[in-house]
Amino acid sequence: MNVRSSWGWGLVALAAGATLVPACRRKPAEVNPIVPAIKVNRERAPLGSAVEVTYAWSLEPGAKKIPAGYRAFVHFLDSHKVVLFTDDHVPTPAPETWEAGKSYSYSRTVFVPIYPYVGEARVVVGLYPAQGRGERIVLKGEDLGLRAFKVATVELLPQTENIFLVYKDGWHNPEAHPENPAIERTWTKKEALVSFKNPKKDVLVYLEADTSPKFFKAPPVLTVTVGEAKVALPIEGSDVFLKRIRVKAADLGSQEWVDLRLAMNESFVPKLLAPPLNNDDRELGLLVYHLHVAEADKLGDLAGREVVDAGPAVAVKAASAPPAKK
């Protein structure tokens, strides 16, 4: 996820270049008739919440073949066209495999960062060469400049509209991802506890995490307990996984606060491994990227998304990995 950056840098560079070369009239780039679109499950989303996004790319009969190596950029802009956050990714399937006259769609989950901004955010998308060789493709749609095409608007609400989580025992300090400092994550111990005020409604728990199975003596298993309900989740591999867990209002109990517990079957200490991994003497269990609890009736249509219903000792299949983060 990219940090906040100015939308106008490209325009400044163009203006500077205009003073060095004679003015010329460039021929407008030819439109490749590919129509981008997105659909979100909620058009009003609090800061820090999860948004389900369905991307669609419709190629008209005259659409031209896209060279290999192109990615999709997805920018959420504030009222001044400043990038708030992004969801850049490689579409599924890859653009070089697209064929004229066909449409392609897929879904992704976007976690809204916590920024000092509320209000309307415009969503623009486009296709660009990942290796910097070539230009952004001119798509068919409303171009807001720099070949970024408007596909939707989302109203960002204050963070206070979320269910507030109180982090208790079992959490280490947050740390930045070594390959992308904009991504923050937090290790748990073998067990970690958070609490939230009981909404007396069905809730959906979003958990995005991973761990290091090679350091476990037995295959790692995560048990998520929410109130009086639980679900056991075997973890296969070290890829980041995303789980959505639905908990019925009746299973939250009658108390004012509800406990949410993450419990691994084992943990490890990097310094005590044979051979030692490093000098880290912390007890480590699960590496959490996002943990979010939302009232289910505010999430709109979740058709096509995998949702696990928590209950007494429910066991589910191993977590599947979403597209790799950059």
> DSSP letters of 306-320?
--EEPBTTEE-PPPP
DSSP 16: H
Domain with CATH 2.60.120 in the chain: 163-315
| Nearby residues of 298 by Cβ (< 8 Å), 6 or more positions away | 42
- Report the first-to-last Cα separation within the chain, whole angstroms: 7
**Lookup result for tokens 């956050």:** 85
DSSP one-letter string for 203-229: EEEEEEEE--GGG-SS--EEEEEETTE
Residue 234, both tokens? 């075997």
Beta strands across the sheet bearing 103-111 = 34-40, 50-59, 103-111
Q: What is the CATH code of the structural domain delimited by 163-315?
A: 2.60.120
Phi-psi map region of 107: left, alpha, beta (phi>0 left; psi -120 to 50 alpha): beta
pLDDT of residue 17: 34
- Residue 291 vs residues 19, 59, 228: alpha-carbon distances, Å: 50, 37, 19
Contact (Cβ atoms closer than 8 angstroms) between residue 69 and residue 96: yes
CATH topology of domain 9-159: Immunoglobulin-like (2.60.40)
Q: Please identify every stretch of the chain with a pLDDT value under 70, giving residue numbers as ranges.
A: 1-27, 313-326
**Would you state the pLDDT for residue 316?**
54
Identify whether the C-beta of residue 159 lies closer than 8 Å to the C-beta of residue 180. Answer: no
What's the rounded Cα separation, in Å, for the pair 285 and 177?
A: 17
pLDDT, tens digit, for every residue of 114-160?
A: 989 999 999 999 999 998 778 999 999 999 999 999 999 999 999 99
Which residues of the chain does CATH 2.60.40.1930 include? 9-159
* Alpha carbons 305 and 172: distance in angstroms, whole number: 31
Nearby residues of 70 by Cβ (< 8 Å), 6 or more positions away: 94, 95, 96, 127, 128, 129, 130, 134, 137
Q: How many CA atoms does the CB half-sphere of 108 hold within 13 Å?
A: 20
Cβ(110)–Cβ(290) below 8 Å? no
Distances, alpha carbon 284 to alpha carbons 188, 191, 210, 313, in Å? 6, 9, 12, 24
pLDDT value of residue 279: 97
